[in-house]
Amino acid sequence: MCGIVAYIGPKDATPFLLEGLARLEYRGYDSAGVAVAGRTGGLKVRKVKGRVADLAAVVPARFKGGTGIGHTRWATHGVPSDANAHPHLDNAERIAVVHNGIIENADELRARLAADGAVFRSETDTEVLAHLIAAHTAEGTELEDAVRAALGKVVGTYGIAVLDAEQPDRIVVARNGSPIVLGIGEKEMFAASDVSALVRYTRQVVHLEDGELATVRADGFRTFTEDARTTHRQPSTVDWEIDSYDTGGYEHFLLKEIHEQPGSVERTLSGRLDERFATAHLGGLNLDARELREIRRVKILGCGSAYYAGEMGAQLIEELSRIPAHSEPASEFRYRNPVIEADTLYVAVSQSGETYDTLAAVQEIKRKGGRVLGVVNTVGSAIARECDGGIYLHAGPEISVASTKAFTSTVVAFALLALHFGRIHDLSPADGRRIVAGLKALPDQIREILAQGDGIAELAAEYAESEGMMFIGRVRGYPVAREGAQKLKEISYVHAEAYPASELKHGPLALISPELPTVALVPDDELLDKNLTTLGEIKARSGRVLAIAHRRPDAKLADHCVLVPKSEPELDPLLLNIPLQLLAYHAAVELKRDVDKPRNLAKSVTVE
């Protein structure tokens, strides 16, 4: 995934381009570049391997022009290098292109263009676009027509911005599978991959649809389809606050986002709890009670942490409504020719709403006539639009690559869905009231856990140097263990493995040693005794144990313990997960990792 920005107006484009790229850096951060149409003609281009700050350091003061495009990259075709960084140019250095997505027929196009004289200077698929657009730019051709003609030959996904040195009064952008948002200013216009790059400049935005292009000029824009039909798009107003995109005094976005959870959970719950009928109202489901009663099975799909949140969601749905529910990685589901059943409700989970594997799974289900709900954070995103209905998380923008507040809000959204289902089926009013009360109590309980941050930081310092860590949990605790292990490995690079506690003696117990500590989820529920027995087995093999528990286990069973407030048993996993976020965060800080931008990862994976 990559980030794109563009500016056209009376000011110099470069300051906006660099600032916008810095805000989009979560989308990719292995190389960056900018191009502006200079006031004296021709294009000025700077691109480097590295971060946006590395780019800013090599952009000279004289790098001026009122029309410009920029890019921050996450490599797919070709290693991160100066040459592979965007923008890419044609032979004459007239056309500059920045691109997010994948051109699937790049090899074939490259061979044809090279035979016609195009000289390729990078290994990227994107460079094909620059040469292809140039090939359609005969004397007098409007840039938008050249772009349309070129895109007609392209198979793949793209969000692009195109600059033409000879038509510096416009930028042409296009979307197919990768987002492009236009920002409408006062006699100036912006475009970007997402609104975080725009909100300091304008709140008026237009989200392009797939298959749509726009010609953007300083005084306005025109949107149209690939066959040149004009579309009429009304701007919408962005309601997220500007400070959502700053670290707000925290050392990292991740820590800020962990601490935002009491508020983000409140927003996910807001207006959705019905105390009178002890249920939840979910306006966006687009399914009435009768249709919901016909559902025999729920299948949840997502990737990475979204998949683990789905596992927690599946347990909530089964427990509260007794409808069989199961979560599966969308990335696997889409490739196995899945059976789509008419009485199964499919639920796609995604923070970004852009993850390609999840989007492809949704499209496969719909192609076969299935019904899909989205549990999505980003309003208007590709997955949200593709689904038949759904639940928005309202968690606010999540910038750090590791998901925390969106994860928690996803599980809260599933708790609401499970409650709604349950109360349509056989969940008693008393149990409904119990869950409603449990949900309402969550924000304060999360605050209680966050107040233990310093103690958890000390524990993280103690465990961070381990050669690896085991995470174990039983039944409701197992998805918590999986998410805890995922968080630790992605930001601290400490190897972490999650196992059902019940499976330990079937193999992984052989790994237990003082060098491989275990984080154990030990809720005070009907499986407490079983969990304590497992701790005894680990201690008997000289293993170190950090328990995340409601009650402190005997000192003989756990070396350390983080105490978590008790919720309702079905909701406990939500709270047990919070200390694991802090543990991973502080371990990553201790090991001096790049917490918000871990190596090799990007915030959302918009490629296969």
Going by C-beta distance under 8 Å and a sequence separation of 6 or more, which residues neighbour residue 242?
Answer: 199, 200
Nearer to ligand AGP by C-beta: 279 or 409? 409
Q: Nearest-CA neighbor of 157 among 177, 180, 129?
A: 177
Nearer to ligand AGP by C-beta: 38 or 573? 573
What does DSSP assign to residue 412?
H
Residue 76 sits in the site that holds ligand AGP (CB under 6 A): no
Does 2 participate in catalysis according to the annotation? yes
Member of 68, 177, 304, 438 binding ligand AGP (CB under 6 A): 304
Alpha-carbon distance of 36 to 199, in angstroms, equals 22
Alpha helices in 226-271 (DSSP H): 253-259, 261-269
Tell me if 300 sits within 8 A of 326, measured CB to CB. Answer: yes
Nearer to ligand AGP by C-beta: 84 or 403? 403
Residue 292 CB neighbour total at 10 angstroms:
17
Residue 373 sits in the site that holds ligand AGP (CB under 6 A): no
Nearer to ligand AGP by C-beta: 315 or 351? 351
Residue 587 sits in the site that holds ligand AGP (CB under 6 A): no
Name residues contacting ligand AGP, limited to 378-407 (CB under 6 A): 401-403
Q: Nearest-CA neighbor of 605 among 182, 376, 304?
A: 304
Q: Which window, 185-193, 255-263, 348-356, 515-523, contacts ligand AGP (CB under 6 A)? A: 348-356
Q: Which window, 182-190, 346-354, 360-368, 539-547, contacts ligand AGP (CB under 6 A)? A: 346-354
Does 603 participate in catalysis according to the annotation? yes
Q: SS3 of 572, please? A: helix
Residue 355 sits in the site that holds ligand AGP (CB under 6 A): yes
Residue 351 sits in the site that holds ligand AGP (CB under 6 A): yes
Residue 563 CB neighbour total at 10 angstroms:
16
Tell me if 416 sits within 8 A of 269, measured CB to CB. Answer: yes
572-590 vs 477-492: helix crossing angle, rounded to 10: 20
Q: Which window, 233-241, 285-293, 351-359, 460-468, contacts ligand AGP (CB under 6 A)? A: 351-359
Alpha-carbon distance of 246 to 250, in angstroms, equals 9
Nearer to ligand AGP by C-beta: 176 or 381? 381
Can you name the residues that pair with 361 across neighbouring β-strands? Answer: none
Nearer to ligand AGP by C-beta: 306 or 412? 306
Q: SS3 of 586, please? A: helix
Going by C-beta distance under 8 Å and a sequence separation of 6 or more, which residues neighbour residue 176?
Answer: 101, 151, 156, 157, 158, 159, 210, 211
Q: Which of the following is catalytic: 2, 303, 387, 561?
A: 2
Contact letters for ligand AGP, residues 479-518 (x by CB under 6 A): -----------x----------------------------
Q: Which window, 226-234, 236-244, 303-311, 442-450, contacts ligand AGP (CB under 6 A)? A: 303-311
Interface ranges with ligand AGP (CB under 6 A): 303-306, 350-352, 355, 358, 401-403, 490, 604-605
The catalytic site residues sit at 2, 603
